[in-house]
Amino acid sequence: MSIGSRPFHYTRAIVRHIPDTLADNALRMNEPASPIDLERARQQHANYVCQLRQLVPDVLVLPGDDSQPDCVFVEDPVVVCGNVALVCRMAPESRRSEAAVLKAAVESLGLLTVEMTEPALMDGGDVLFTGREFFVGLSSRTNQDGVEFLASVFSQYKATSIRVLDSLHLKSLATMAGDDVIAIADNPAGRQTWKDISHLAAFQYTPLWIPDFGAANVVYINGCILHRSSREFPASAQVFKSLNCPTREVENSELSKVDGALTCCSVLIN
Ligand code: CIR
Protein backbone atom coordinates (compact mmCIF):
# COMPACT_ATOMS: atom_id res chain seq x y z
CA MET A 1 0.00 0.00 0.00
CA SER A 2 3.00 2.30 -0.08
CA ILE A 3 2.64 5.39 -2.22
CA GLY A 4 6.35 6.06 -2.36
CA SER A 5 7.97 9.42 -1.76
CA ARG A 6 6.08 11.53 -4.32
CA PRO A 7 2.50 11.64 -3.07
CA PHE A 8 1.23 14.43 -5.33
CA HIS A 9 2.56 12.95 -8.54
CA TYR A 10 -0.17 11.28 -10.51
CA THR A 11 -0.22 9.25 -13.69
CA ARG A 12 -3.97 8.83 -14.07
CA ALA A 13 -7.18 10.65 -13.34
CA ILE A 14 -10.86 9.80 -13.52
CA VAL A 15 -13.56 12.37 -14.34
CA ARG A 16 -17.26 12.12 -15.26
CA HIS A 17 -19.47 14.17 -17.54
CA ILE A 18 -22.16 16.46 -16.14
CA PRO A 19 -25.64 14.92 -16.45
CA ASP A 20 -28.64 16.91 -17.72
CA THR A 21 -30.27 16.57 -14.29
CA LEU A 22 -27.53 18.46 -12.41
CA ALA A 23 -29.10 21.90 -12.60
CA ASP A 24 -32.45 20.88 -11.13
CA ASN A 25 -31.60 17.91 -8.97
CA ALA A 26 -28.03 18.12 -7.64
CA LEU A 27 -27.87 18.49 -3.87
CA ARG A 28 -27.08 21.96 -2.54
CA MET A 29 -26.64 23.57 0.85
CA ASN A 30 -28.41 26.78 -0.25
CA GLU A 31 -30.43 27.81 -3.25
CA PRO A 32 -27.98 29.71 -5.53
CA ALA A 33 -28.56 33.42 -6.22
CA SER A 34 -28.76 32.70 -9.94
CA PRO A 35 -29.78 29.49 -11.74
CA ILE A 36 -27.13 27.06 -12.98
CA ASP A 37 -26.24 27.61 -16.62
CA LEU A 38 -25.73 23.99 -17.72
CA GLU A 39 -23.97 24.88 -20.95
CA ARG A 40 -21.54 27.13 -19.11
CA ALA A 41 -21.03 24.45 -16.45
CA ARG A 42 -20.09 22.01 -19.22
CA GLN A 43 -17.69 24.50 -20.82
CA GLN A 44 -16.00 25.14 -17.47
CA HIS A 45 -15.80 21.42 -16.77
CA ALA A 46 -14.38 20.73 -20.26
CA ASN A 47 -11.68 23.29 -19.56
CA TYR A 48 -10.94 21.62 -16.21
CA VAL A 49 -10.55 18.27 -17.98
CA CYS A 50 -8.37 19.92 -20.62
CA GLN A 51 -6.08 21.34 -17.90
CA LEU A 52 -5.91 17.92 -16.23
CA ARG A 53 -4.97 16.29 -19.54
CA GLN A 54 -2.00 18.65 -19.80
CA LEU A 55 -0.83 17.62 -16.33
CA VAL A 56 -1.66 13.90 -16.16
CA PRO A 57 -0.80 11.45 -18.95
CA ASP A 58 -3.95 9.33 -18.74
CA VAL A 59 -7.44 10.77 -18.05
CA LEU A 60 -10.36 8.33 -18.00
CA VAL A 61 -13.62 10.11 -18.83
CA LEU A 62 -16.77 8.32 -17.67
CA PRO A 63 -20.22 9.17 -19.02
CA GLY A 64 -22.67 11.05 -16.84
CA ASP A 65 -25.93 9.44 -15.75
CA ASP A 66 -29.17 11.37 -15.47
CA SER A 67 -30.26 9.18 -12.58
CA GLN A 68 -27.20 10.43 -10.64
CA PRO A 69 -27.48 14.26 -10.65
CA ASP A 70 -24.24 14.71 -8.60
CA CYS A 71 -22.18 12.14 -10.51
CA VAL A 72 -19.66 14.71 -11.82
CA PHE A 73 -18.32 14.96 -8.25
CA VAL A 74 -16.25 11.79 -8.51
CA GLU A 75 -14.04 12.57 -5.55
CA ASP A 76 -16.80 11.72 -3.08
CA PRO A 77 -17.55 8.03 -3.77
CA VAL A 78 -13.95 6.80 -3.66
CA VAL A 79 -10.71 7.58 -1.80
CA VAL A 80 -7.56 6.37 -3.54
CA CYS A 81 -4.21 6.06 -1.81
CA GLY A 82 -1.47 4.13 -3.55
CA ASN A 83 -2.97 1.04 -5.20
CA VAL A 84 -5.98 0.82 -2.88
CA ALA A 85 -9.36 2.47 -3.38
CA LEU A 86 -11.75 2.81 -0.47
CA VAL A 87 -15.29 2.83 -1.86
CA CYS A 88 -17.23 5.16 0.41
CA ARG A 89 -20.67 4.62 1.89
CA MET A 90 -22.23 8.00 1.16
CA ALA A 91 -24.87 9.58 3.38
CA PRO A 92 -27.24 10.92 0.70
CA GLU A 93 -29.44 8.19 -0.78
CA SER A 94 -29.41 10.04 -4.11
CA ARG A 95 -25.65 9.53 -4.38
CA ARG A 96 -25.28 5.91 -3.21
CA SER A 97 -25.41 4.38 -6.69
CA GLU A 98 -22.38 6.42 -7.84
CA ALA A 99 -20.12 4.13 -5.83
CA ALA A 100 -20.61 1.11 -8.12
CA VAL A 101 -19.56 3.15 -11.17
CA LEU A 102 -16.39 4.41 -9.52
CA LYS A 103 -15.60 0.98 -8.08
CA ALA A 104 -15.75 -0.57 -11.56
CA ALA A 105 -13.62 2.27 -12.95
CA VAL A 106 -10.82 1.96 -10.41
CA GLU A 107 -10.86 -1.84 -10.72
CA SER A 108 -10.52 -1.51 -14.50
CA LEU A 109 -7.34 0.46 -13.78
CA GLY A 110 -5.99 -2.37 -11.61
CA LEU A 111 -6.60 -0.90 -8.15
CA LEU A 112 -7.64 -3.02 -5.20
CA THR A 113 -10.97 -1.98 -3.70
CA VAL A 114 -12.36 -2.12 -0.19
CA GLU A 115 -16.03 -1.27 0.35
CA MET A 116 -17.01 0.73 3.40
CA THR A 117 -19.72 -0.90 5.50
CA GLU A 118 -22.41 0.28 7.90
CA PRO A 119 -22.46 2.29 10.16
CA ALA A 120 -19.52 4.11 8.55
CA LEU A 121 -20.32 7.09 6.31
CA MET A 122 -17.90 9.13 4.26
CA ASP A 123 -17.53 11.54 1.35
CA GLY A 124 -14.10 11.76 -0.25
CA GLY A 125 -14.45 15.56 -0.03
CA ASP A 126 -13.80 15.21 3.70
CA VAL A 127 -10.50 13.39 3.24
CA LEU A 128 -7.35 15.51 3.22
CA PHE A 129 -4.21 13.44 2.61
CA THR A 130 -0.98 15.34 3.20
CA GLY A 131 1.31 12.64 1.88
CA ARG A 132 2.21 11.85 5.49
CA GLU A 133 -1.13 11.47 7.28
CA PHE A 134 -4.88 11.87 6.82
CA PHE A 135 -7.14 14.56 8.24
CA VAL A 136 -10.78 13.59 7.90
CA GLY A 137 -13.65 16.01 8.31
CA LEU A 138 -16.51 15.14 10.62
CA SER A 139 -19.37 16.68 8.69
CA SER A 140 -22.97 16.10 7.70
CA ARG A 141 -21.53 13.45 5.32
CA THR A 142 -18.75 11.75 7.31
CA ASN A 143 -18.99 10.17 10.76
CA GLN A 144 -16.43 8.89 13.26
CA ASP A 145 -17.08 5.29 12.10
CA GLY A 146 -16.10 6.45 8.63
CA VAL A 147 -12.83 7.90 9.96
CA GLU A 148 -12.09 4.65 11.78
CA PHE A 149 -12.89 2.60 8.70
CA LEU A 150 -10.48 4.70 6.62
CA ALA A 151 -7.83 4.37 9.35
CA SER A 152 -8.14 0.58 9.24
CA VAL A 153 -7.78 0.47 5.45
CA PHE A 154 -4.83 2.85 5.21
CA SER A 155 -3.34 1.71 8.50
CA GLN A 156 0.18 2.81 7.65
CA TYR A 157 -0.94 6.44 8.08
CA LYS A 158 -2.36 8.28 11.05
CA ALA A 159 -5.96 9.47 10.49
CA THR A 160 -7.24 12.37 12.58
CA SER A 161 -10.81 13.66 12.79
CA ILE A 162 -11.35 17.38 12.27
CA ARG A 163 -14.74 18.96 12.93
CA VAL A 164 -16.05 20.71 9.79
CA LEU A 165 -17.55 24.14 10.45
CA ASP A 166 -20.00 26.01 8.21
CA SER A 167 -19.06 24.02 5.10
CA LEU A 168 -20.03 20.89 3.25
CA HIS A 169 -16.62 19.23 3.47
CA LEU A 170 -13.21 19.61 5.10
CA LYS A 171 -11.71 20.25 1.67
CA SER A 172 -14.10 23.17 1.13
CA LEU A 173 -11.85 24.88 3.69
CA ALA A 174 -8.43 23.27 3.38
CA THR A 175 -6.49 21.57 0.57
CA MET A 176 -2.87 20.77 -0.19
CA ALA A 177 -1.16 23.53 -2.17
CA GLY A 178 2.43 22.28 -2.07
CA ASP A 179 4.54 19.72 -0.24
CA ASP A 180 3.58 20.28 3.42
CA VAL A 181 1.66 23.46 2.49
CA ILE A 182 -2.07 23.66 3.25
CA ALA A 183 -4.24 26.31 1.61
CA ILE A 184 -6.80 27.48 4.18
CA ALA A 185 -9.75 29.82 3.85
CA ASP A 186 -9.02 32.99 5.83
CA ASN A 187 -12.39 33.09 7.58
CA PRO A 188 -13.48 32.02 11.10
CA ALA A 189 -14.18 28.41 10.03
CA GLY A 190 -10.86 28.18 8.19
CA ARG A 191 -8.89 29.65 11.10
CA GLN A 192 -10.44 27.13 13.52
CA THR A 193 -9.69 24.33 11.05
CA TRP A 194 -6.05 25.36 10.90
CA LYS A 195 -5.91 25.51 14.72
CA ASP A 196 -7.24 21.95 14.91
CA ILE A 197 -5.01 20.60 12.15
CA SER A 198 -1.83 22.21 13.44
CA HIS A 199 -2.61 21.14 17.01
CA LEU A 200 -3.33 17.49 16.13
CA ALA A 201 -0.86 16.96 13.28
CA ALA A 202 1.93 14.42 13.56
CA PHE A 203 4.00 16.48 11.07
CA GLN A 204 4.54 20.19 10.47
CA TYR A 205 2.71 22.09 7.76
CA THR A 206 2.73 25.69 6.59
CA PRO A 207 -0.62 27.46 6.16
CA LEU A 208 -1.31 29.40 3.00
CA TRP A 209 -4.09 31.84 3.85
CA ILE A 210 -6.61 32.32 1.07
CA PRO A 211 -8.75 35.48 1.26
CA ASP A 212 -11.80 34.05 -0.53
CA PHE A 213 -13.63 31.05 0.92
CA GLY A 214 -14.48 29.75 -2.57
CA ALA A 215 -10.83 29.67 -3.62
CA ALA A 216 -9.20 27.58 -0.86
CA ASN A 217 -9.99 24.35 -2.67
CA VAL A 218 -7.19 23.74 -5.17
CA VAL A 219 -5.75 20.69 -6.90
CA TYR A 220 -2.02 20.26 -6.26
CA ILE A 221 -0.94 17.97 -9.01
CA ASN A 222 2.41 17.06 -10.53
CA GLY A 223 4.12 20.18 -9.19
CA CYS A 224 1.38 22.56 -10.31
CA ILE A 225 -1.51 24.28 -8.51
CA LEU A 226 -4.84 24.30 -10.33
CA HIS A 227 -6.88 27.11 -8.74
CA ARG A 228 -10.00 29.25 -9.25
CA SER A 229 -9.59 31.99 -11.84
CA SER A 230 -8.34 35.58 -11.37
CA ARG A 231 -11.63 36.71 -12.89
CA GLU A 232 -13.60 35.05 -10.10
CA PHE A 233 -11.21 35.60 -7.17
CA PRO A 234 -8.46 38.13 -8.03
CA ALA A 235 -6.98 38.44 -4.53
CA SER A 236 -6.79 34.68 -3.98
CA ALA A 237 -5.41 34.03 -7.48
CA GLN A 238 -2.67 36.54 -6.66
CA VAL A 239 -1.68 34.52 -3.58
CA PHE A 240 -1.18 31.40 -5.72
CA LYS A 241 0.65 33.29 -8.44
CA SER A 242 3.08 34.75 -5.92
CA LEU A 243 4.28 31.24 -4.97
CA ASN A 244 7.34 29.70 -6.48
CA CYS A 245 5.22 27.07 -8.22
CA PRO A 246 3.58 26.74 -11.64
CA THR A 247 -0.13 27.53 -11.55
CA ARG A 248 -3.11 27.11 -13.85
CA GLU A 249 -6.52 28.59 -13.43
CA VAL A 250 -10.04 27.45 -14.14
CA GLU A 251 -13.48 28.96 -13.68
CA ASN A 252 -15.99 27.02 -11.60
CA SER A 253 -18.86 29.45 -11.08
CA GLU A 254 -21.59 26.98 -12.09
CA LEU A 255 -20.68 23.79 -10.20
CA SER A 256 -19.91 25.88 -7.13
CA LYS A 257 -23.62 26.77 -7.02
CA VAL A 258 -24.22 23.15 -5.95
CA ASP A 259 -21.19 23.16 -3.61
CA GLY A 260 -18.83 21.56 -6.12
CA ALA A 261 -15.19 22.57 -5.78
CA LEU A 262 -12.13 21.72 -7.91
CA THR A 263 -10.85 18.63 -6.11
CA CYS A 264 -14.28 17.02 -6.24
CA CYS A 265 -14.30 16.73 -10.03
CA SER A 266 -11.43 14.23 -10.28
CA VAL A 267 -10.02 11.09 -8.71
CA LEU A 268 -6.23 11.22 -8.92
CA ILE A 269 -4.16 8.05 -9.02
CA ASN A 270 -0.41 7.65 -8.54
C1 CIR B 1 -23.27 17.28 -2.94
O2 CIR B 1 -23.89 18.00 -2.17
O3 CIR B 1 -23.00 16.12 -2.67
C4 CIR B 1 -22.85 17.86 -4.27
N5 CIR B 1 -23.84 18.76 -4.74
C6 CIR B 1 -21.53 18.56 -4.18
C7 CIR B 1 -20.41 17.65 -3.81
C8 CIR B 1 -19.11 18.35 -3.82
N9 CIR B 1 -18.08 17.44 -3.50
C10 CIR B 1 -16.86 17.81 -3.08
O11 CIR B 1 -16.58 18.97 -2.93
N12 CIR B 1 -16.01 16.85 -2.78
CATH at residue 55:
3.75.10.10
Inform me whether the pLDDT recorded for 75 exceeds 80: yes
Question: What is the CA(260)–ligand 1 centre distance, in A?
Answer: 5
- Per-residue pLDDT band for 4 (boundaries 50, 70, 90) equals very low
Decide if 124 is inside a domain.
Answer: yes
- Whether 264 sits among the annotated catalytic residues: the reply is yes
3-state secondary structure labels for all residues of the chain: CCCCCCCCCCCEEEEECCCCCHHHHCCCCCCCCCCCCHHHHHHHHHHHHHHHHHHCCEEEEECCCCCCCCCCCCCCCEEEECCEEEECCCCCHHHCCHHHHHHHHHHHCCCEEEECCCCCCCCHHHEEECCCCEEEEECCCCCHHHHHHHHHHCCCCCEEEEECCCCCCHHHCEEEEECCEEEEECCHHHHHHHHHHHHHCCCCCEEEEECCHHHCCCEEECCEEEEECCCCCHHHHHHHHCCCCCEEEECCCCHHHHCCCCHHHCEEEC
Mean pLDDT of the chain: 96
Inform me whether the pLDDT recorded for 20 exceeds 50: yes
CA-nearest residue for atom 7, ligand 1, is: 260
Decide if 7 is inside a domain.
Answer: no
Decide if 133 is inside a domain.
Answer: yes
Domain that holds residue 121: 12-269
Question: What is the CA(109)–ligand 1 centre distance, in A?
Answer: 24
Decide if 231 is inside a domain.
Answer: yes
- Per-residue pLDDT band for 6 (boundaries 50, 70, 90) equals confident
Q: How many domains, the chain?
A: 1
Overall pTM > 0.75: yes
Decide if 3 is inside a domain.
Answer: no
* Ligand 1, CB cutoff 6 Å, lining residues: 26-28, 70, 73, 75-76, 95, 125, 168-169, 258-261, 264
- Whether 245 sits among the annotated catalytic residues: the reply is no
Decide if 247 is inside a domain.
Answer: yes
122-177: per-residue pLDDT in tens?
A: 999 999 999 999 999 999 999 999 999 999 999 999 999 999 999 999 999 999 99
Q: Relative to the CA of 126, which ligand 1 atom is closest?
A: 12
For ligand 1, mutation pick of 29, 74, 168 (most atoms within 8 Å of CB): 168
